[in-house]
Amino acid sequence: MKKNQLQVIAIMVALAIVFGGFVLFKSRSGGAEQAGQSEAAEHGEKDDHNETKGAAEEGKGDEHAAEKHEAEGVIRFTDDQIKLAGITMQTAAAAHLDTFIRMPGQIALNEDRTAHVTARAPGAVEQVAATLGQNVRKGDVLVVIASAEIADQRADLATAEKRVAYARSVYASEKSLWEEKISARQDYLKAESDLREAEIALQGARQKLAALGSQGGSSGTSNRLQVRAPFSGTIVEKHVALGEVAGADTRIFTISDLSTVWADVVVPAKDLEIVRVGTEAVIRSVASDTTAPGKVSFVSSLIGQESRSAKARVILDNPKTAWRPGLFVNVDIVTGSAEVPVAVTREALQTVEGRQVVFKRVGEGFMAQPVSVGRSDGRLVEIVSGMKPGEQYAGAGSFAIKAEQAKGDAEHEH
């Protein structure tokens, strides 16, 4: 019995030891797990704090970069610098544009109002009364020539005048005798015929002298020929000097009325259907900004074999003689017209990195504004997109801004 009690007690002690060990292990495992969870929570809070801080710092960095980028896009120009660089400020606005095709041309004298003055009779130059570039009026004496041919013509005129006087007296006498039945009628008729022949000879002598440009009758200076201006104009050529001998066909002066000139135009064969008599045109000087409207007055019916082009002509009014013969011009033949909502001057357009831009005025300078362009009349260009009406931009002198921008980019790369 005592032995059985000892066995029961041993079993109970063993079970107590096992249960105590299990409870101790469970307690330690739960503490470690709780510690792990606390540590993980602590690390999570730190990570969240770091992420929030990083996001805030990243946002500030993006904002700073944007501000920096915007500041870099501005080409800084003060008002004094704009004035010094010769930059003209313009405002984008609606405009009327005439579309056209451009052709080369040249200003020429109006040949309908140009005269090549000759002496008409050979002789020595005794007086030169006009000089190159002088404006003369119709009838003004240009040069005086001593001519033997003029002397001969005046002598013939004097002889013809005396013959007429003699024939007239004979005719009067024969008429009186015939009326008194003293002489025969045929003597009277012969005297009448002689008078008519003498009058015809006198008229011929006068016409010959007038054809040579000499004025006055036989009583004038015997051998002097006064060469006069045929119309009012400007002496554009002079080929005579005092003392030299001028021939009858020598061109001694060229006079032209410069109040109108011609613009001769070279028209390619493919454009002859567009360029017709009466077509509106705008003449533009190659050497300056001078322009003038006109109309096509002539189109040649022939095409050059080598150039494969025809010649056309525009008549221009030239009151201030701004259009000088020999000046090269561009002739814009108008093909249509349109109203556009936004336009800028042609010199405002610049090319930057392969794109067309307009330097738009901003607070402290200019910014290169990319634009899309449309029609043009040679002076203004339609802006399809990129600019709004009322915005200010750099017109003439905008190349100075482009140069400053290129300079700034080069410094930034270094």
In 241-379, where do the E strands start and end?
A: 245-246, 251-256, 260-268, 280-285, 291-299, 309-317, 328-345, 349-352, 355-362, 365-370, 372-376
**Residue 32 neighbours by CB distance under 10 Å:** 9
Q: How far is CA 75 from the centre of its chain?
A: 31
Of residues 207, 223, 312, the one with CA closest to residue 268: 312
In 245-327, where do the E strands start and end?
A: 245-246, 251-256, 260-268, 280-285, 291-299, 309-317
Domains and CATH numbers, the chain: 75-96+339-413 (2.40.420.20), 101-111+257-336 (2.40.30.170), 148-222 (1.10.287)
- The 3-state DSSP class for residue 78 equals coil
Contact 341, 389 (CB under 8 A): yes
Distance linking the first and last C-alpha atoms of the chain: 107
Q: How far is CA 335 from the centre of its chain?
A: 17
- Per-residue pLDDT of the chain in tens (414 residues, 90 and over written 9): 445 566 656 666 566 665 555 545 555 544 444 434 444 334 444 444 444 444 444 444 444 443 444 455 788 888 888 888 888 889 999 998 877 888 899 999 999 999 999 988 899 999 999 999 999 999 999 999 988 888 888 888 889 999 999 999 988 888 888 888 887 888 888 888 989 999 999 998 888 888 877 765 555 557 888 899 999 999 999 999 998 998 888 899 999 999 999 999 989 888 888 888 988 888 999 988 888 988 999 999 888 888 788 999 999 999 888 899 999 999 988 887 788 999 999 988 998 888 999 999 888 888 889 999 988 877 889 999 999 999 999 888 888 888 888 776 655 555
